[in-house]
Amino acid sequence: MAFMRKQAVVEAVDINTVTPDDAEKRITAGVKKYATNEANFAAADANTPYLGHIVGMGIESSNLADITMSIERQFLTKMTTKVPLSEGSAEFKLTAGELGKLRILDGQDALAATPGLSVKMLMDLGHMAKNDAYLEKVMSFAYVMACGDGWKMADALKKMAAKAEKLADAERSEALANLKTLVAQAKDYDALLADAAKLAASKAKAYANDKGGFDALNSELNLTLDKIKGVSAGGDAAQLAKLRGEEAEIRTRLKMSAAKLRVSQEVSEAAGKRRAIEDKKVAEVRAALQTAVSSAEKLS
Amino acid sequence: MSSLYPKRVVITGVGAVAPNGLGLADYRAALMAGKSGISHHEDLAALKFACQIGGKPPVGPDEAEALLSGPDLAKLNEAMVYATMAAVEAAKMSGVAVDLKKGYNDTPVDWNTGAIIGCGIGGMDTMCDELGPVLAAAADQDPGMGVRPMGTDIVPKIMESSVSVAVGKFLGLGGQTTTNSSACNTGTEAIFEAFKHIQLGFSESMYAGGAEGTHPGTWSGFDAMRDVLCSKFNDRPEKGAQPMGAGACGFVPAGGAGVLRLETLESAQKRGAKILCEVVASYCNSGGQRDGGTMTFPNPDGVMRCIQKVLKDSGVDPKRISLINGHLTSTGADPREVGSWIKALELPLEKFPLIQSTKSMIGHTLGAAGALECVAVVDQIVNGYVHPSINCEDVHPQIPIGNSIPHEMVKKELEYVIKASFGFGDVNGCVLFKRWDGK
């Protein structure tokens, strides 16, 4: 890389010879070269999001795959034996075998939004032993998302208020009207964060919508598969090719929908569960939201 | 005769990353002093190149980190770093506040400004040092894992438009942001394209220029062509580039970047930007690789037509040209180029304007050459001097205008300065600049 100073090569270690805290430190250090918010990176802990500039490390979403590759390069695991998911299938899962390179399969990293959640992912996948004491300090993915939205809203309020302050006359009136709308949204969100049950209900609704979309796609796929069966018997090659094309397109959409559903399911299931770590983070973001709201209201 | 063009286009900022100077101030000092930026390079010697000298800008991790943070640098190839450095300097000079280390994501989009930053052979350092080793080992990996170690930043670092999108990203440009490539004419062509773009009303302002890296891979093909690069001065590198000289034996490869900010006169005046000079006319053409023109040699008729078109469109009498900044690479093509200038200007030899080669000091920076040389032209116009053309005390016997070559720096007010570039593929470019006299 042009003009980059040489970096020490980190040797991969057997993941079961390191503590979760050490694994977290290695994971955080491994993504340094992608972290564009240096201050947040320097102060990063288990719950610092990789993405985002406000409280995150500032890693760009295009580099998400690099985070996973960085983790893969740093650890060795015994979960190395490939077992096909079904007979003749190219898709496989990894089970216990010889010590070898860590591999994180497509989609397995969907919820690994912080170093702590990356360690949790490694535990969930069986690469390292589960450690409840460590997981107690790791904020759930659902609350990384919920708090992240709160930080973004507080930031938007601050920026809009700063902009409105500099304007005059009609432009100021228009900006203040927009600010008022945003203040109302921020207050609503603050109230939502304050009540775990309300937040859970809101996320459950979002999950239900995603599930509905996923189920509809599945039905569409089944319908197309039925049509393919019918045409196969009749032997219309052109029609069959058209239907195969439709099937491929639906499967692609289904895959994307499944990934989205997995995230919203996780968020829905965990939104109502609050431990000390989630309480602490929610309190921090609510304070930021309330300060931003208060400053914005003083303007009008 | 008056100008063909409906809009007046001026230069409000320039930036230079040259082998003999990083930043305009150092570049100017080196140009005035006739200081060469060519040196011997151990990496070329280790690779057994015939030509082991080259022009590399004085940029290392310290200079790069002074501009950009580590994670931003990791996403750039060498040419992207040079392009960014030059563009930021040009932007600052034109009155834009830029501090990339403090952050750039929150600066507003400049919808009225775009960028055409060219590159001759982009991303060679990334291809050879990052992509190549991974690809070589890919066959031994599990399916799906072979090329994964390349990471996700590889494509933006090898795509042709890497240099322009880097500039667009850091400066937040909202106009067309693209990369042109026409070999060694690239930098000059970028200025022509930007000039044209502004004339057509698509943007009020454009950053234009070229950037080139210095990886041995970029220079290897030229070395393989044997007589194209200078291989007789490995022990005296600063003497290697001898444009118009009797001993010229091939060009000296180099890298760097030059960027100029072009904008309409109205835009510059509205912003209160300092105007450096005016772009009066510009044109690009090709010699069709006929009548003496080949993939590597220009058709002299094409060169002459390109220059004459610029003169005709501008309505400027050749007598008013104070200085020619030629392409003049230190090869056997130099006498032919001078011959084309003589024919195009149609002036008696004793009235032939001064003619210089910036490459005598910086070597041939390929895709950046035209741009870095235009930066030199602008600086000479602004500061009233003519830099020397070094290493040609013995002028090539087929060049009949030896008296027009400055061997020392000359203090002189310049009115019109014409600059041309030529490239592999028999492509030509020409720009005519005029001193800004306040109206």
CA B23 to chain centre: 14
Residue A36 to residue B151, Cβ atoms within 8 A: no
Token pair, residue A115, equals 């170093």
| Residue range A226-250: mean pLDDT, rounded | 89
Name every residue whose Cβ is closer than 8 Å to that of residue B364 and which is 6 or more positions away in sequence: B55, B184, B241, B251, B252, B253, B254, B329, B330
Across the interface, do B72 and A35 touch by the CB < 8 Å criterion? Answer: no
| Inter-chain touch A1–B130, beta carbons under 8 Å | yes
| Cβ contact B70–A32 (<8 Å) | yes
- A299/A37 Cα distance (integer angstroms): 30
For residue A233, the model assigns a pLDDT of 75
Residue B160 to chain A, least CA–CA distance (Å): 17
Which residues on B lie below 8 Å from A34 (Cβ)? Answer: 71, 74
Tell which of B152, B158, B165 to mutate to test the A interface (max A CBs under 10 Å).
Answer: B152
CA trace torsion B394, B397, B400, B402 (10° rounding) = 0
Q: Do B213 and B202 form a contact (C-beta atoms < 8 A)?
A: no
Q: Cα separation of A51 and A64, whole Å? A: 8
- The beta-carbon contacts of B246-249 under 8 Å, at least 24 apart in sequence, are B246/B392, B246/B394, B246/B395, B246/B396, B246/B397, B247/B391, B247/B394, B248/B330, B248/B331, B248/B332, B248/B334, B248/B392, B248/B396, B249/B330
Contact between chains at A35 and B65 (C-beta distance less than 8 A) = no
Lowest mean pLDDT among A139-143, A192-196, A233-237, B218-222: A233-237
Residues B61, A1: C-beta atoms closer than 8 Å = no
CB contact under 8 A, B78 and A2: yes
Residues of chain A with Cβ-Cβ distance to B65 below 8 Å are: 3
C-beta atoms of B69 and A36 within 8 A: yes
Q: Is B55 helix (H, G, I), strand (E, B) or coil?
A: strand
Q: Is residue A236 very low, low, confident or very high in pLDDT (cuts 50, 70, 90)?
A: confident
Residue of B nearest to A103 (CA): B145
Name the closest residue on chain B to residue A6, using Cα atoms: B61
C-alpha span between A102 and A78 (Å, rounded): 8
CB-based burial label for B85 (10 Å; 0-12, 13-18, 19+): buried
The alpha-carbon gap from B211 to the nearest alpha carbon of chain A, in Å, equals 14
Binary contact (B71, A33; C-beta < 8 A): yes
Picking from A5, A35, A64, the nearest residue to B71 by CB comes out as A35
Contacts B129 to A, Cβ<8 Å: 1
| A119, A285, B20, B234, B334 from B249: Cα distances, Å | 62, 69, 21, 12, 11
**Chains A, B: CB pairs < 8 Å:** 62
Whether residue A33 and residue B78 make contact (CB cut-off 8 A), yes or no, is no
DSSP state of A50: S
Residues of A engaging B, defined by a Cβ cutoff of 8 Å: 1-5, 32-36, 38, 53, 58-59, 62-66, 69, 103
Residues of A in contact with B76 (CB under 8 A): 1-2
Best mutation target, A3, A4, A34, A89, to test chain B (most B CBs within 10 A): A3
Output phi, psi for A134, to 5 deg. -65, -45
Output the six-digit token pair for A227: 């049509």
The CA-CA-CA angle for residues A187, A188, A190, to 5°, reads: 60
Q: Which of B61, B70, B148 sits opposite A69 (nearest CB)?
A: B148
Among B73, B100, B212, most A C-beta atoms within 10 A, so best to mutate, is B73
Measure B69 CA to nearest chain A CA, in Å. 7
Rounded Cα distance between B114 and B105, Å, is 17
Alpha carbons B276 and B434: distance in angstroms, whole number:
9
Measured distance CA(A175)–CA(B288) in Å, rounded: 59
Q: What is the pLDDT at residue A231?
A: 87
Least confident of A50-59, A82-91, B18-27, B214-223: A82-91
Other C-beta atoms closer than 10 Å to the C-beta of A204 total: 17
Residue A134 has a pLDDT of 98
β-partners of residue B278 are: B10, B434
CB contact under 8 A, B153 and A38: no
CA distance A37 to chain B (A): 9
Measure CB to CB from residue A3 to each of B61, B126, B130 and give the nearest one.
Answer: B61
**Measured between alpha carbons, how far is B397 from A236 in angstroms, rounded to an integer?**
80
Distance from C-alpha of B291 to C-alpha of B269, rounded to nearest angstrom: 46
- As a residue count, chain B comes to 439
Residue B284 CB partners (closer than 8 Å, separation 6+): B182, B185, B188, B189, B192, B306, B427, B428, B429, B430
pTM, whole model, 2 decimals? 0.88
DSSP secondary-structure letter at B226? S
Residue B316: how many CA atoms within 13 Å on its side-chain side? 26
- Would you give per-residue pLDDT tens digits along chain B (439 residues)? 467 899 999 999 999 999 999 999 999 999 999 999 999 999 999 999 999 999 999 999 999 999 998 889 999 999 999 999 999 999 999 999 999 988 888 889 999 999 999 999 989 999 999 999 999 999 998 887 889 888 899 999 999 999 999 999 999 999 999 999 999 999 999 999 999 999 999 999 999 999 999 999 999 999 999 889 999 999 999 999 999 999 999 999 999 999 999 999 999 999 999 999 999 999 999 999 999 999 999 999 999 999 999 999 999 999 999 999 999 999 999 999 999 999 999 999 999 999 999 999 999 999 999 999 999 999 999 999 999 999 999 999 999 999 999 999 999 999 999 999 999 999 999 999 999 999 8
Mind telling me how many Å the CA of B73 is from chain A's nearest CA?
A: 7
The DSSP letter of residue A138 is S
**Which residues from B are below 8 Å from A when comparing CB atoms?**
59-61, 63-65, 69-74, 76-78, 80-81, 105, 125-126, 129-130, 142, 145, 148-149, 151-153, 213
Please list, in sequence order, all residues whose beta carbon lies within 8 angstroms of the beta carbon of residue B67, skipping any fewer than 6 positions away.
B81, B84, B85, B88, B100, B101
Residue from B153, B157, B158, B163 to probe the interface with A (highest A Cβ count within 10 Å): B153
**Residue B153 Cα, gap to closest chain A Cα (Å):** 7
Rounded Cα distance between A213 and A261, Å, is 9
Residue B348 φ/ψ, nearest 5 degrees: -60, 145
Q: Could you give the CA distance from residue B191 to residue B165 in angstroms, rounded to a whole number?
A: 17
